[in-house]
Amino acid sequence: MPRMLLRDIVQARSGDKGNTCDLTIFARTPEMYEHLKQVVTAERVKEHFRPLVHGPVTRYEAPTVLGLKFILEDALGGGAPSSLRSDNLGKSFGSNLLRLEIEVPEELAREPHLMSVPPWRKKE
Amino acid sequence: MKKVRIGAGQGFYGDSVYGALHMAKYGNVQYISFDTLAELTLAILQKDRQKNPSLGYTKDITTTMTHLLPYVQEKGIKLITNAGGMNPEGAREEVFRVAQSLGIKGLKVGVVTGDNVFHLLPEWEKQGFDLKEASSGTPFDTIRDKVLFASAYLGAWPIVEALKGGADVVITGRTTDTAQFLAPLMYELGWDYKDADLIAQGILLGHLMECSAQASGGNFSGDWWNIPDMDNLGYLIAEVREDGHAIITKPDGSGGRVSVDTLKEQYLYEIHDPHNYITPDITADFSHVNFTEVGENQVVVRGVRGKPAPETLKVLIGYENGWMGQGMIGYSWPDALKKAQKADEIVRKQIERYGIEVIEIHTEYLGYNSIHGPLARPVDEENLNEVYLRVAVRTKDRATAERFGRLFPPLSLNGPPFVGSLSGMFSVRQLLGLWTVYVPRSWIESQVKIEVKEV
C-alpha cells in the first residue's frame, strides 16, 4: 500500500477556543473519507502532536462535508492571550497535521480522491 | 415570499474597511453586520477605558463609520456592530461625532448594554453563587484581586429590539459573533425563538459570515493559488427567505471564491461538537448541514436544526496573568542556526547571572521552527541562509519583562558573529488569563438595556 502525506489528500483548517485547538480535515470523496475514518484516529492525531498537545484528543465526524474534526485539549500554551508562542492561536495546527503520512489503498491514490497539485510541485 | 440580503463587514478588530465599503457599494444589501470582538480584544479595550473613560470601544469604528455612514444615509443600509466593546455608549458618542462631521442628520443609533457584569460579581457571590472556573473547578479566590473584566455573551434579541426602535446603526458590547447576523433576519423575516430551525439557520449563516473573507477564499487550504483577486476578497452575502432558504454569495466585482470547498472550512471552524453549537440564542445541530452550488459563487445552505437554548449564559472573566517580555535577533549563513542557538544560551545564562526572575521561557527560531515548534522537521543547516532567534518570557511584572528585552541589543557586539538584523527590544505586553463561568440567564438579561437616540 502506498504511503502519502495528508497534504496530498485533504483540506485542513484549525483555530482556538481558550487552551483548546479545534482542527478539521476534509476528504474529497466518500471513498477516501471512509478510509480516513479508519486510519486518522484520535489516537493517531494525539501521537502526531505529542510534544505540543498535553490533553486528550476527541474526534467528531461530519459526514455531509466529509469532515473529521479533532478537539485537542491543553494544546496552546495556556491559550492565546496567555501564550508565549508565535502561533498562539493554533492556526498552524492544520498545516502541521498535513505532515502526517498514512497508508492509502492503490485505488484511492489517484484522482479524484486527491487534492489538486500546485503547478510548481508537478512532476514532468 | 419576503426576503432580505445581509452582508458581512468585518471579522476582527484590525480587519480592512474595504470589504465593508465594497459591500455597501456593490453588495445590494440591506444590512451590513460586523464582528469585532475576541477574548483578547476585550482586555485591550478594558485597558483603553481604564486610561481614558471615554474610550473602551474598538477605535476603528471611526474609520468604519466615516466610510459607511454616507451609504446609511443614501441607500438606507443598516449597520450592526459589537464594536462597543467595553463602552458602547462611548462608541455612540464617536458615531455621533463622525455623523456631525459628515453633516448627516436624523441618524438613529441604538445601543445595547448589560453584557458588562463586572460590578455584579460580588452580588452574585453574596447570593451564594460560586464563581469557580467552569471546567477546572479552580476557586475564584486564586484570581479575585487580578480580575480585569467580566463580560456576558448576549444573543440577538436586544439587537432586534433596537431595530424595532428604528435604529439605523446598532452598537453592542459582547454580543456573540453570530448575534449581529441573526438579529436582522429575525427582525425582517419575523422569525421568533419558537422557530428553532430558523433561528439555527440564522446562527449557521452568522457563523459562516463572522470571519469576513475566511469563507470566501481567505485562509483557504485548497487550491489557494487559483483564488481570483486575493487583493480584493469579497465578504459573504446571505440572501435569506422567510422560510429559511438561503443563498450565500459575494458582491459583484470582488475577488475570492464562494464554493462548497471554501464554505465548509469555515462551517466547522472553532465550533467543537458539530451536534451542539451552543449560543445564547439556540443550541444548533450543525451535523446535517448540506451545501449545494447553484451557480458561480452561489451556494445554498440547508439542513441545520435547532435545539433548546441553554438556561445559563457564558460569562468570560479576564484576569492579569503576568507579563511577556521578548527579544529577537537574526543571524546569517554560515552556521546561522548554531549562532542563534549560541545567542539563546547567552540570554539564558544572563537571566541567571543578572537575577531576572522569569516564570516561563520559550525559544523559537524563525525560519526554522517558530510555527510548528517541537514538530518542525530538522533543517539542512549547511544551506540555511538565515535564521532569527526569538525568546519570550513570562514575568510577574512589567519592569522585569522590560529588563529581559534589554538583553538583546548588546548581542550585536557581545555574541556570535552577527551580520543579520536586530529587532531589539519588543514592547512588553500584559498576559491575560481567561476564566469561564455559567450564570442563570435571567440574572444577566434583566440588566440588559436598549436605547435608541437620534443625532
Q: Is B434 on the interface with A (CB under 8 A)?
A: yes
Q: How far apart are the C-alpha atoms of A16 and A35, rounded to whole Å?
A: 27
Helical segments of B140-235, H only: 157-164, 179-189, 196-209
Encode pLDDT of B315-348 as tens digits.
999 999 999 999 999 999 999 999 999 999 999 9
Residue with cell 442563570: B440
Between A55-69, B262-276, B411-425, the lowest mean confidence (pLDDT) is in: B411-425
Give B213's Cβ-side CA count (13 Å radius): 26
Residue B249 clears pLDDT 70, i.e. is over it: yes
Q: Taking 70 as the threshold, does the pLDDT of residue B276 lie above it?
A: yes
Mean pLDDT for the stretch of residues B374-392: 95
Residues in chain A closer than 8 A to B266 (CB atoms): 13
**Which residues of chain A approach chain B closer than 8 Å at the C-beta?**
11-13, 15-18, 20, 22, 24, 26, 48-49, 51-52, 60, 62, 64-65, 67, 69, 71, 77-82, 84-87, 92, 94-96, 99, 115-116, 118-119
For B261, the closest of A11, A77, A80 (CB atoms) is: A11
Torsional class of A77: left (φ above 0), alpha (ψ -120 to 50), beta (otherwise): left
What residue spans define the domains of chain B? Answer: 3-115+153-310, 317-434
Cβ contact B372–A92 (<8 Å): yes
From residue B324, give the alpha-carbon distance in Å to each of A83, B229, B232, B398.
9, 38, 35, 8
Q: What distance in Å separates the CA atoms of residue B231 and residue B253, rounded to the nearest whole number?
A: 12
Is residue B426 predicted with pLDDT exceeding 90? no
Count of beta carbons in the 10 Å neighbourhood of residue A8: 15
Reported residue count of chain B is 455
Average confidence score pLDDT of chain B: 96
CB-based burial label for A40 (10 Å; 0-12, 13-18, 19+)? buried
What are the pLDDT digits (tens) for A39-86? 999 999 999 999 999 999 999 999 999 999 999 999 998 888 899 999
* Dihedral class, residue B335 (left if φ above 0, else alpha if ψ from -120 to 50, else beta): left
Which residues of chain A are within 8 Å of residue B393 when distances are taken between CB atoms? 84
Cross-strand partners of A107: none
Give contacts of A12 with chain B, Cβ < 8 Å: 221
Q: How confident is the model at residue B422 (pLDDT cuts 50, 70, 90)?
A: confident
- Asked if B436 and B133 count as a contact pair (C-beta separation under 8 A), the reply is yes
C-alpha torsion sign, points B346, B347, B353, B354:
positive
Residue B354 pLDDT greater than 90, yes or no? yes
pLDDT tens-digit series, residues B62-94: 999 999 999 999 999 999 999 999 999 999 999
* ipTM value > 0.90: yes
CATH for B317-434?
Answer: 3.30.70
Q: Which residues of A touch B377 (CB under 8 A)?
A: 99
Q: Residue B299 in contact with residue B292, Cβ under 8 Å? A: yes
Give pLDDT, residue A29: 98
Higher-confidence residue: A17 or B281? B281
Best CA proximity match to B107, nearest among B53, B65, B146, B147: B65
Q: Which triple of cell numbers denotes residue B85?
A: 466593546
Helix or strand or coil: residue B389? strand
Fold of A3-108: Alpha-Beta Plaits (3.30.70)
| Beta bridge partners of residue B80, listed in sequence order | B33, B170
Task: Calculate what percentage of chain A has a pLDDT beyond 90.
Answer: 90
Task: Give B160-206 pLDDT, tens digit per residue.
Answer: 999 999 999 999 999 999 999 999 999 999 999 999 999 999 999 99
CA A107 to chain B, closest CA, distance in angstroms equals: 22
DSSP-assigned letter for residue B304? -
Task: Quick: pLDDT tens for A91-105.
Answer: 999 999 999 999 999
> What order do you get walking across the sheet with B31-34 strand by strand?
B290-295, B298-302, B246-249, B237-241, B3-10, B31-34, B78-81, B169-171, B108-113, B449-454
- For chain A, the structural domain boundaries read 3-108
Could you say which DSSP state residue A57 is in? E
Interaxial angle between packed helices B260-267 and B196-209, expressed in degrees from 0 to 180 and rounded to the nearest 10: 100
Give the model's pLDDT for residue A124: 61
Planar angle of CA B123, B129, B131, nearest 5 degrees: 95
